[in-house]
Chain A
Amino acid sequence: MVNAVAKQPIDLARAAAVAASVPDPELPFMTVSDLGILRDVFIENDIVVAQVSPTYSGCPAVVVIEQSILAALTEAGFNSRVQRMMSPAWTTDWITTEGRKKLRANGIAAPAAGRGTDNNPASEPILFSRITVSCPQCDSDNTHKVSEFGSTPCKAQYRCDSCGEPFDYFKCL
């Protein structure tokens, strides 16, 4: 079967679409493309290569994501491999507009756009800083941080002081 496929020209656009539609295991309503972790899909020596950038150094979902992409491509008939890209480091700025909408629709406040790369390690640490996070339920900016850490490495816990709902905030990285 693999041989039969290899004799025909590889449909790169279809392969890219297959890879892009793979869901994230922890946020199943988000695809790897929405999250911006699928960096590129190309053909090298008759093999489809999907480049994936991990979100956090220790994200337990990394291997699952890589295997899911590989499985999806194999099932669609592509001879493929996944390449992990450390550099440039993933940033929440790569989450697409569509991805941000989906986060919000699922009760998760999206990371403030364009803030992912502004951490300047040369300066002194700024403690107790506050950023405005809007409640995904009622849109109020009257919210406060409960903890910078939540159910997955990428989320922080917030509570809305207007509607009283607790919610997850996808923190900037």
Chain B
Amino acid sequence: MVYKRALIETVVQLADDHLILGHRLSQWCGHAPMLEEDLSMPNMALDLVGQARNLYSYAAELEGEDRSEDDLAYLRTDREYRNCLLVERPNTDFAYTMVRQLYFTAFMRPFWQGVLTGSDTTLAGIAGKAIKETGYHLRHSGEWVVRLGDGTEESSRRMKDAVSTLHPYTDELFSVDAGRQQCIEQGIVPGPEQLRAAWCSTIKSVFSQALLEVPEVEYPLCGGRDGRHTEDFGYLLADLQYLQRTYPGAQW
């Protein structure tokens, strides 16, 4: 397979996005504003980490070397992680978390839809499961964005703050490097134009119900796909990798 390297890179980028966002959501466990949300966020984290696991094990299988899904998830350095910056941004407050979730999920839904009918059967299988989960993640975050955006003065202020802070990070979702380009040409994953159209339409529809405006972004913030992460990522990784670094090979 000529494009094998490209496929591995794309699968690892996807897996990293899901693992890191899953980890961020799991940090709400025990800290959510209400019991129902204390269950919902770790539940979605479980879905995301499960999707990441399926992707990492596919990447490891494609590599065909000694690295396992756990090595990929736990034993790389910060510069080797290729997740977009959006997913590593701190939880900050519930408004930030819901806006971040909406941005990511509104992107993944058309993405998985494209993969489902794409040319890679293993990835299509992973997409088949993930797309159903993405459906209710989108409903969950979309409903909260509407409730809070069209809520009290305080909730509306926090939503506007979250939107203006996080929106500049969304451009990276659509970035295409050489490896991604090859995967698009092979019909494995959908291209950025199609994804952007679907994403914009979802965000516009939710924001209009939430009385929020889609901001104009002057300077998109990116770097994660090249391994250049934000300061917060180091703390996240220290937490995520602690057990495997301290007790190598530990299992439960």
Name A's B-contacting residues (CB within 8 A): 54, 56-60, 86-91, 119, 121-122, 124-129, 146-151, 153, 157, 171, 173
**A87-B124, A88-B128, A89-B129 as given contacts; A58 in contact with B205, CB under 8 Å:** no
Residues of B within 8 A of A150 (CB): 39
**A121-B109, A121-B135, A125-B202 as given contacts; A58 in contact with B46, CB under 8 Å:** yes
Partner of A54, one of B48, B122, B129: B129
**A86-B128, A87-B121, A127-B143 as given contacts; A57 in contact with B206, CB under 8 Å:** no
Partner of B140, one of A87, A148, A153: A148
User: Is the Cβ of B47 less than 8 Å from the Cβ of A58?
Assistant: yes
Partner of A121, one of B36, B131, B201: B131
Name B's A-contacting residues (CB within 8 A): 36-37, 39-40, 43-44, 46-51, 53-54, 109-110, 112-113, 121-122, 124-126, 128-136, 138-140, 142-143, 146, 201-202, 205-206, 209
User: Is the Cβ of B36 less than 8 Å from the Cβ of A57?
Assistant: no
Q: Which residue of chain A has the shortest Cβ distance to B42 in the bound complex?
A: A149
Q: How many A-B residue pairs have CB under 8 A?
A: 97
**A56-B46, A86-B125 as given contacts; A149 in contact with B132, CB under 8 Å:** no
Residues of A within 8 A of B43 (CB): 149, 153
Partner of B139, one of A125, A146, A151, A173: A125
Tell me, in angstroms, the Cα distance from A54 to B133 when the chains sit together: 13
